[in-house]
């Protein structure tokens, strides 16, 4: 079959697309030829997937994502390569495991263990059990491998429960029915990765849209996200609270009972975070509604007479690595609270967490802690900058010995 991709001004062009031509070509095949071709395509897909994972493993090892203005491999895969979060999670997990156990790629290429199965096994593989576990997982479905993982790494029981959130009963029943129908329709191998963190016994708190039903998520792999959008400007927030956090929430509920009489958790967290965020911004970045008046002294000339009547000459300020709150505040506002690293294509890193203040001219080379010589970098790009200036070996030794 020969299919040519033509430029026809968009998917609605008169001359047709590659997909249309491919479909016409397939329709002309006999049943035997179609099945034979599909078998070859599946085998080729496995080889390409294994090759993709090998590339991801090497890019991750070299931390090349940092040079592409990404703060992590996850960000690189989702923002630069256009992979979904679920696909990224699986491939990164298997890629990192394949650096320790290269045979994983051979098993994947041969189709003996599928990608979802390798993803489930990855965190449980050791030098002693890798061959045994791969043999036991060979030819098994995702569900069967989940049973295998539960056997080798049992976890405590969880209490399953469903709690109705505020809203009409009919709407809640409709939402639950739709959710169950969607879950039943999922294809096993194409289902997205678990989107919730591991569920363990404890209290569940949520802020959700009206007429929603939510419950404990099934036990599964961890997730980067615990906030799920439900509707425009409406989100479900779910987490497991330990006893200490539970007690803090109850204490906050008591203290704010005069302002939040019903004890609504969404409003309670909103009020507590409204108090906490400005304080954290002040501690971390020096932000404040009432900045102190700037005090600047001229380093030339005289400060005038002292109480004893003598003239004094000011001394230059003592050089320090410390960055003042005033400098932090100006730099944070100037840089917009975002990593300032820009790659060779002009793309700026989007990281707004794990931010650090970085001396443009390093302190070790005489750089001062001034606004003009300070910028915001995420931890990854701060490290990259240091390695480029001082060498990766020197920085690794410095991290090792402090």
pLDDT digits (tens, 9 = 90+) for 328-365: 989 999 999 999 999 999 999 999 888 999 999 988 88
Distance CA 193, CA 237 (A): 18
pLDDT band at 18 (very low <50, low <70, confident <90, very high): low
How many Cβ atoms from other residues are within 10 Å of residue 277's Cβ? 11
For the chain, what's the residue count? Answer: 402
The pLDDT of residue 179? 44
Rounded CA gap, 229 and 234, in Å? 6
Indicate the angle between helix axes 265-285 and 325-335, nearest 10 degrees. 120
pLDDT at 63: 94
Q: What is the DSSP string of 73-90?
A: HHHIIIIIS---HHHHHH
Mean pLDDT score across all residues of the chain: 76
For residue 205, pLDDT beyond 50: no
Q: Which residues contact 96 (CB under 8 A, 6 or more apart)?
A: 57, 60, 122
Residue 256 has pLDDT above 80, yes or no: yes
Write out pLDDT tens, residues 264-322: 888 898 999 988 988 888 888 888 777 665 544 333 344 444 445 555 555 545 667 78
Tens digits of per-residue pLDDT, 91-126?
999 999 999 999 999 999 999 999 999 999 999 999
Average pLDDT, integer, range 160-168: 45
- Whether 53 has a pLDDT exceeding 50, the answer reads yes
pTM over 0.85: no
Distance CA 282, CA 51 (A): 47
Of 39-48, 82-91, 306-315, the range with the lowest mean pLDDT is 306-315
pLDDT score of 138 more than 90: yes
């Amino acid at each position: 079959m020969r299919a040519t991709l033509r430029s026809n001004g968009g998917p609605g062009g008169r001359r047709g697309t590659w997909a249309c031509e491919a479909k016409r070509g397939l329709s002309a095949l006999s049943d035997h030829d179609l099945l034979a071709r599909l078998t070859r395509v599946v085998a080729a897909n496995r080889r390409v997937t294994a090759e993709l994972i090998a590339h991801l493993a090497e890019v991750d090892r070299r931390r090349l994502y940092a040079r592409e203005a990404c703060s992590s491999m996850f960000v690189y895969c989702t923002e630069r390569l256009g992979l979904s979060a679920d696909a990224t999670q699986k491939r990164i997990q298997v890629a990192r495991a394949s650096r320790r156990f290269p045979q994983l790629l051979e098993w994947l290429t041969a189709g003996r263990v599928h990608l979802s199965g390798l993803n489930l096994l990855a965190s449980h593989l050791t030098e002693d059990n890798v061959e045994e576990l791969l043999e036991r997982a060979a030819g098994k479905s995702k569900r069967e491998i989940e049973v295998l993982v539960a056997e080798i790494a049992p976890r405590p029981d969880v209490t399953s429960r469903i709690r109705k959130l505020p809203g009409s009963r009919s709407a809640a029943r409709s939402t639950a029915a739709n959710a169950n129908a969607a879950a039943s329709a999922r294809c096993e191998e194409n289902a997205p990765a678990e989107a919730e963190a591991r569920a363990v016994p404890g209290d569940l708190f949520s802020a959700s849209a009206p007429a929603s039903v939510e419950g404990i998520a099934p036990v599964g792999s961890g997730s980067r996200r615990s906030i799920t959008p439900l509707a425009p400007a409406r989100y479900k927030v779910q987490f497991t609270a330990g006893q200490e956090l539970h007690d803090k929430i109850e204490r906050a509920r008591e203290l704010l009972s005069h302002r939040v009489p019903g004890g609504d958790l969404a409003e309670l967290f909103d009020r507590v975070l409204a108090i906490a965020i400005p304080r954290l911004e002040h501690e971390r970045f020096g932000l404040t509604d009432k900045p102190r008046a700037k005090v600047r002294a001229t380093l030339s000339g005289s400060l005038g007479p002292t109480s004893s009547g003598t003239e004094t000459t000011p001394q230059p300020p003592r050089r320090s690595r410390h960055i003042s709150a005033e400098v932090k505040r100006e730099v944070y506002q100037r840089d917009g609270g975002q990593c300032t690293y820009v790659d060779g294509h002009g793309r700026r890193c989007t990281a707004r967490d794990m931010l650090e203040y970085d001396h443009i001219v390093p302190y070790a080379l005489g750089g001062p802690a001034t606004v003009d010589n300070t910028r915001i970098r995420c931890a990854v790009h701060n490290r990259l900058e240091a390695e480029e200036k001082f060498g990766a070996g020197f920085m690794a030794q410095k991290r090792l010995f402090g």
